[in-house]
Structure 1
Amino acid sequence: METKLFSPYEMKGLTLKNRIVMAPMCMYSCEKEDGIVTDWHVAHYTSRAIGQVGLIILEATAVTPQGRISHQDLGIWSDEHVAGLTRLTEQIKQNGAAAGIQLAHAGRKAALRDEIIAPSALAFDENYKEPKAMTVEEIKETVEAFKLAAERAKSAGFDVIEIHAAHGYLINQFLSPLTNKREDEYGGSPENRFRFLREVLEAVKTIWDKPLFVRVSACDYHDEGLTGEDYVTIGSWLKDLGVHLIDVSSGAVVPARINVYPGYQVKLAEKIKHGADVATGAVGLITTGIQAEEILQNDRADLIFIARELLRDPYWPRTAAKELGTSIEPPKQYSRGWLF
């Protein structure tokens, strides 16, 4: 049986062998608070490449020490990180997957001992410290940090960069009127709130010529927050800036109650895909091959981002293929045990 899930996907000179993406998931596993790749990271990511995932995107990787979500986060703020990241990309690609990295800054959601920063001096909730409102100079320094991180990602051999503009982290904080109360050129109008992300992308693109993704939270789940309609506009701006795909998640910019059900975010990916005429990735409680195939066959998204299900089953592509009545080629070392 021919399936769309297991068909190749091409973009900017890169061909993915299938439409399955391992979504970025924080592992909080750096042993010395130095952001350097460990043996555990190599085993974790390489196993999903052996499991036949098409594209593996590393967890949120901090562009500055201050931008970590926790002290155990992976980092890319120093040239010292490049060797470990290169080891990862080599292992991922040797086992048949493309390698991506999510460049991130936590902003006010950094759970660190030191000072944290954000567009405005508003804490996420009573369990988080109040951040310092960024100066324009600090904004420019952070844009430069994303650029330098992209340069290191290029040196480390990554095929894809994803900019993390979702889940209430720094770029998302600039985008949302709930968290951005600035009165300068980075606040107020939608165009001004988008300015920081625009500058990050423009800086990254001066040295990055491979596929470029952006992850967004396409609904704030708040009466005064952003909606899918707002993100159709943002999606058009991202497309004009040369972004190849928008990875569509939702929520987490402010505390909110979210009605979660299988595929609950797919409608947002579909809305942005068709409203902005841009490729999208669907993510969020997608757990079966049948579910993934329906999304692709009905042109609701272009790639399927699998998160927790890949934690439970590193060989999820094989599981999905069995559900869909098709077969995929195993690693030759596993061929004797790969038959249905």
Structure 2
Amino acid sequence: MSLLFTPRAVGPLTLKNRIVVAPMCQYSAVDGVPQPWHAQHVARMALSGAGLVVIEATGVEAAGRISWADVGLWNDEQEAAFARILRDICTYSDTPIGIQLGHAGRKASTNPPWIDHGGPAPADQAWETVSASALAYRDGWHVPTALDAAGMDRVVEAFAQATRRADRAGFDLVELHAAHGYLLTQFLSPLSNARTDDYGGALENRMRFPLRVAQAVRDAWPRTKALGVRFNGSDWTEGGITVEEAQVFGRALHDMGYDYLHLTSGGNVATARIPGDLPGYQVPFAEAVKAAAPEATVMAVGMIVTPGQAEDLLVAGQADLIAVARAVLDDPNWGHHAATALGRPEALPLPYERAGVERWPGYATARSASN
């Protein structure tokens, strides 16, 4: 019996298996509105065999987008476009679809990564950025404005409003983005938060604004739908977020009513040396948070490539859910192929069954060639 293909309750939502397609920015929106590219991308992920798909980081306000090509959820046009995508998908897939809501803070106002390596946007497409402190992300980048009380109130309300829009659009789940060096991480990390008021200094203070946002999202999201959060276990730089701090933050979010804790790392310091080529390099953070809050549902991510690797992590109790990203871009049928690798039915969509392991003589040859 494969644990990866055992159903798992995530708050009020029951997943058919433990595979989650992690949020992956597509940098293909127009004025924050998802385009036909997004419709086909999400559709492919919804047919991948995963138990859950989470749509990419979505700006809660225009200034909160990572790049000028990011999706957003601050107006009616964006909400309606997401609703259309979800209505279409539910006619051929029962895979739950979530959305990740975030604010890029000082890492906003950039180009897509294939333009000037994702550096600051040109003047005609740029906007003012904000952060915990007036510290630039890296040399040559814009210096953000430190959020004052009114600015923090505005951002909290933007998260709440985007959460309500996600509910109306028909999403099954919301994931709060508190990772990868974006705004909430900028408050959490001593490397980007130099404040001397109630929002800086000790961990209790650095958590204060992220927890305000988290509570606003929790209050705006129905208890009948699942709610999760993604946050960092490390900055990979001395003096940054520690795994012990991540344990405290995770416990606070679990106690607030978040249904899962999704552990990742990095992105807050441009010079950090991250061992991203090592299989499962972020799993120890998930394992540590799971140890601190054993009753919480914890998700691991990061260079989890093979079904056997995912299965072993679950069997060892290091996590409860496994998130995959580039692996499922490389193989949009990753979930179906994982099932056959672990002795489970392939469960392809009916129109595709003739290409499956049991019906197509060329299957073994195709698999062998790809390996």
Q: State the TM-score bracket (shorter-chain normalisation).
A: over 0.9
Superposition CA RMSD, Å: 1.2
Structural mapping, 1:133-212, within 5 Å: 133-208=146-221, 209=223, 210-212=225-227
Helix, strand or coil: the match of 1:205?
helix
Q: CA deviation at 1:228?
A: 1.1
AA in 2 matched with 1:214? V
Identical amino acids, percent of aligned pairs: 45
Structure 1 residue 47: deviation in Å? 1.0
Could you say if the C-alpha distance between residues 125 and 53 of structure 1 is closer, same or farther in structure 2, counting changes exceeding 3 Å?
Answer: same
**CA–CA separation in structure 2 for the residues paired with 1:174 and 1:85:** 30
Greater shift in the superposed pair: 250-259 or 166-175: 250-259
Of the structure 1 ranges 317-326 and 162-171, higher mean CA displacement relative to structure 2 is found in: 317-326
Find the residue that maps to 2:220 and give its secondary structure. Answer: coil
1:126 is aligned, of 127, 136, 139, to 139
Amino acid at match of 1:190: L
Matched, 1:301 2:319: yes
Displacement of 1:252 after TM fit? 1.2
Gaps of 5+ in 1: none
How much does 1:90 deviate?
A: 2.5
1:326 is aligned, of 336, 341, 344, to 344
Distance in structure 2 (CA, Å) of the matches to 1:207 and 1:251: 29
* Partner SS state of residue 206, structure 1: helix
CA deviations over 1:242-282 (Å, ceiling 9, x no partner): 11111100111112011230001111101101112222101
In structure 2, C-alpha distance between the alignment counterparts of 1:212 and 1:93, rounded to whole Å: 20
| C-alpha separation in 2, matches of 1:44 and 1:185 | 42
- CA deviations on 1:10-43 (whole Å, 9 max, x unpaired) are 123211111111101110001x3x1111111010
Q: 2:88 aligns with which of 86, 91, 95?
A: 91
Is the contact made by 1:52 and 1:96 (CA closer than 8 Å) also made in structure 2?
no
The worse-fitting range, judged by mean Cα deviation, of 242-251 and 196-205 is: 196-205
Code of the aligned partner of 1:83: A
Contact 1:249 1:284 in 2 (8 A): yes
2:265 equivalent to 1:247: no
| Counterpart-to-counterpart distance in 1, 2:189 and 2:86 | 34
Query: How many residues in Structure 1 have an aligned counterpart in Structure 2?
Result: 337
**TM-superposed deviation, 1:199:** 0.9
* Cα offset, 1:191, TM superposition: 1.1
Larger mean CA deviation between 122-131 and 67-76 belongs to 122-131
The code of the aligned residue for 1:228 comes to: V
Secondary structure at 1:212 match in 2? strand
TM-score (norm 2): 0.88
Report whether the alignment pairs 1:105 with 2:103. Answer: yes
Q: In structure 1, what is the equivalent of residue 354 of structure 2?
A: 336
Give the TM-score normalised by structure 1: 0.96
Q: d(CA) in 2 for partners of 1:155 and 1:18?
A: 26
Select the structure of larger CA radius of gyration: 2
Offset at residue 96 of structure 1 (A) = 2.1
Which shows bigger deviation, 53-62 or 125-134?
125-134
Correspondence 1:38-53 to 2 at 5 A: 38-53=35-50
